[in-house]
Structure 1
């Protein structure tokens, strides 16, 4: 009878004295180190890529095309998306990735809104992002700015407004804050309640000055019952309440054509160039950019061939250049697939096409003791010259009263600019 040997399994061991074990250990260890190193490099590269402008603007090309296009020609074109939208620190990095997970889902399943809404509620406080480069306390004095407008008449009459904008600033060391940046000085606190998601309807304002005096103002047009205060969020004013479109800027047709005329990209000597260019951009809601380019070409050519046949023959090159420029304006500012154009997003700088400053400075916010938030033009800027070419040569250091290019009598005193100026044919 044969004996069956019962084998006891040996425990795992590595014998470095054994050449086979030693060689296997060296191969495994070397491979592990290389793998971990490659993983670390790959992870960092992946992280670096997800933080890049390419990832934000081009991976989801159709979704982010308007924002990425506007970004490329903006004052912040050399600043990465994450420097503003995320900023430093792990906390906001994690929040951005969690938020981004939903955005990836929305893109994959085509459930994202058109247009993409401004992430007002999710933006990091401006003091933690904007003020790492822009320090309100270090802005002082006034800044000269010239606004060139062109009328919609045959001669494309130029109407310029040259003004000193009281940027202001100030600090405890430099003295009491003044100018527009008075709102942002650390010595002052401005809080408000907006009753709409885009913060265009401001119903209540509270101001605390450098002496500790507090005054509350209520809108006469949109008052809030004191019993309803709890349902609203009180917000502390910061940079983004005025500079809400610092990068993703979409010019209105009128603004874009004005710039092109000033720069000579559209010949100002072409009759009705301003009027025709603007009309070509907005004559209808084009379904796509390609259809817009064709329609713009046809509209401009047809106008000059019909109304000015001699100019259509002798100034063909200028008309071709005008067509190319208007098509370019459309390409940079209109995105029919995403339903984006200039009037989708309010721009709070100034008060020309959006309420902007007039959200508070409308003369309709009154305190209990009868004080009114002022709407005097000279509080924020001084017009030192205005008018046509000859008129604008006359300089008034103490400031001029605003003169409207068209005779609307005193209506400009009683209405907000944005009630008439929509960005289309007016100036």
Structure 2
């Protein structure tokens, strides 16, 4: 008769199956850990297997072991009076001693590995690869934009979670619902913005950027191209008044006046994307409050939704600091100015923007369509040019395709139209959400629409090549001479805006 090492309660199908699962899982964890340790490249799915999925299976195996033993004891005692409430561990019995030592040593080893695995699982779920690639199709637009952003060296959790336990716990609860949404195809296309659960800027942005720091004017140069046959260019140089500062060190001015600690600006928005702002309150250092209301709207303060009351911080203007989707017009202007696209190709600005803005069902269809449409345009309208400058046309086409791949994601309905960038006011309302000349206080003060409040145009060259320079400031002149003074009564977004839900305001 074969001698049994462990008590007979262990020798049952459930316990043996659990032991097999646990041993196999443990072996796989060791193997994958060694593989991961010596691997030269990060693998998203190996991390999930090693530190999350297989440890979960191992724990299930351990539970089955315990369940099998208890189940076997109940079967043995069925119909009998229970003499002991708990099993007796007699270390003088060699079988029980062997089982106890095996279980104790195994438990200690597994606990150590579980602690290590738990830490690795925590560490792994905080990585950018986990955030950006696990839910590949859902997060592809955001992750692609993030990798090409000014904050690509800042980890996802640095902005979306920040430091501290409370926000970590909140993020995990939020993440649990996101996992459910992905598994059961319940997520929105595109992902809603702004992120309501995002931590306030003082706990994220302000860990690196100091609102009270004063910045001098920054010179910015722009080159624009018209959508005409010659891709007519014009240039503009301006000083952007970044500003900021502390009152005790001098005047507070410039764009960063809005987030200076000496001022508190709060507002109420009436739409989910915070583009419609009919009510603004400014609280100065001495506690004085000034309320500005949109004079075009008839409303009572009592009827405003106080749940939509928000204190202004960095994110209200820098709302796309990492996940930036570039406008086609702006992208083509930049590439033409750098001669990456040959500006001598007739209508290249116009046709490039047109093919980028066309509707496509898939990215594959888009890339094929862009190539076909640009090729057809030049073959039909400029056949001789197509023969002599075929390489330049092909090169331009490849660049346009790259712009599409970087900024358009049909599956998620993600592009610049669905994610307005408030840092400017050309393509989306941005500054003009409040600085539209319509927000007035009870004593007649107006939130200025004056361009020189935030920037000063010091030089501009029109479409005829005539340059004007004045360090005291110039009045903006649109590159398209045909528009004349008619543009003075309009916002930039009335023509340039392409918001999917809100193409501009009257």
Shared fold (TM-score greater than 0.5)? yes
Structure-to-structure mapping, 1:47-62, within 5 angstroms: 47-62=122-137
Quick one: distance in 2 between partners of 1:229 and 1:194?
9
Mapped to 1, the partners of 2:272 and 2:297 lie a distance apart of 15
Provide the alpha-carbon RMSD of the alignment.
Answer: 2.3
The 2-side partners of 1:399 and 1:198 are apart by 34
Question: After superposition, what is the alpha-carbon deviation per residue over 1:357-384, rounded to whole angstroms, capped at 9, x for unaligned?
Answer: 1111111011111111111111100011
Counterpart Cα distance in 2 of 1:11 and 1:303? 88
Higher helix share: 2
Residues 390, 169 of structure 1: alpha-carbon distance in 2 compared, 3 angstrom cutoff: farther
Distance 1:370 1:394 in 2: 36
Equivalence for 2:204: 129
Quote how far apart the aligned CAs of 1:388 are.
Answer: 4.5
Query: Counterpart of 2:3?
Result: none
Q: Distance in 2 between matches of 1:140 and 1:193?
A: 29
> Secondary structure of 2:142's partner?
helix
Report whether the alignment pairs 1:156 with 2:207. Answer: no
What CA distance in whole angstroms lies between the structure 2 residues aligned with 1:315 and 1:193?
A: 55
Stretches of structure 2 lacking an aligned partner (at least 5 in a row): 1-82, 500-506
CA distance in 1, matches of 2:473, 2:306: 44
> 2:159: which partner in 1?
84
Give the match for residue 189 of structure 1: 264
Shift of 1:23: 7.1
CA distance in 1, matches of 2:465, 2:333: 19
The answer to whether the Cα contact below 8 Å between 1:216 and 1:367 also exists between their aligned partners in 2 is yes
Partner Cα separation in structure 2 for residue 297 and residue 230 of structure 1: 49
Which residue of structure 1 aligns with residue 385 of structure 2?
A: 311
Which residue of the other structure, out of 320, 323, 327, is the alignment partner of 2:394? 320
Match of 1:397 in 2: 471
Equivalent pair of 1:184/1:237 in contact (CA under 8 Å)? yes
8 Å Cα contact 2:194/2:273 also seen in 1: no
User: What is the CA–CA distance in structure 2 between the aligned matches of 1:171 and 1:254, rounded to whole Å?
Assistant: 38
Aligned partner of residue 457 in structure 2, secondary structure: strand
Q: Deviations over 1:11-53 (max 9, x none)?
A: 42436xx998887766554433321221111111111111111
Tell me by how many angstroms 1:294 deviates.
Answer: 1.2
Q: 1:351 aligns with which of 425, 437, 441?
A: 425
Give the Å deviation of 1:229.
Answer: 3.6
Deviations 1:275-314 (Å, cap 9, x if unpaired)? 11112222x3111111111111111111111222222111
Alignment-derived partner of residue 94 in structure 1 = 169
The two structures have a TM-score, normalised by structure 2, of: 0.77
Matches within 5 A, 1:195-234: 195-229=270-304, 231-234=306-309
Q: Which of 185, 191, 194 in structure 2 is aligned with 1:110?
A: 185
Q: Deviations over 1:376-412 (max 9, x none)?
A: 1111000111124885865321111111111322232
Contact kept, 8 Å, 2:292 with 2:439, in 1: the verdict is: yes
Partner of 1:281: 356
Say if 2:411 is the partner of 1:334: no
Which structure has the bigger radius of gyration?
2
3-state SS of 2:185 partner: coil
> Aligned pair in 2 of structure 1 residues 390, 40: CA closer, same or farther (>3 Å)?
farther
Distance 1:247 1:352 in 2: 19
1:384: which partner in 2? 458
Aligned counterparts of 1:216 and 1:11: Cα–Cα separation in 2: 77
* Partner of residue 45, structure 1: 120
Query: In the alignment, is the contact (CA less than 8 A) between 1:385 and 1:391 conserved in 2?
Result: no
Give the whole-Å Cα distance in 1 for the aligned partners of 2:194 and 2:123: 23
Matched, 1:179 2:179: no
Structure 2 residue corresponding to 1:246, chosen from 314, 321, 335: 321
Aligned length: 414
**1:14 matched residue in structure 2:** 91
Q: Is the 8 A contact 1:74 1:249 kept in 2?
A: yes
Distance of 2:104 and 2:223 partners within structure 1? 70
Deviation at 1:423, TM superposition (A): 5.7
Secondary structure of residue in 2 paired with 1:374: coil
Q: Deviations over 1:310-331 (max 9, x none)?
A: 2211111111111111111110
1:34 to 96, 109, 115: 109
Structure-2 change in CA distance of 1:230 and 1:257 (3 Å): closer
User: What is the match of residue 242 of structure 2?
Assistant: 167
Contact 2:428 2:498 in 1 (8 A): no
Where 2:278 maps in the other structure, the secondary structure is strand
How many Å apart are 1:212 and its aligned residue?
A: 3.2
Counterpart contact for 2:90–2:96, Cα < 8 Å: no
> How high is the TM-score relative to the length of structure 1?
0.91
Cα 1:31/1:404, change in 2 over 3 Å: same
Partner of 2:43: none
Instruction: Tell me the distance in 1 between the aligned counterparts of 2:305 and 2:269.
Output: 13
1:139-170: CA deviation from partner (whole Å, max 9, x where unpaired): 42111111221111222122222111000010
Q: In 2 relative to 1, CA 230–149 (structure 1 residues): closer, same or farther, beyond 3 Å? A: closer
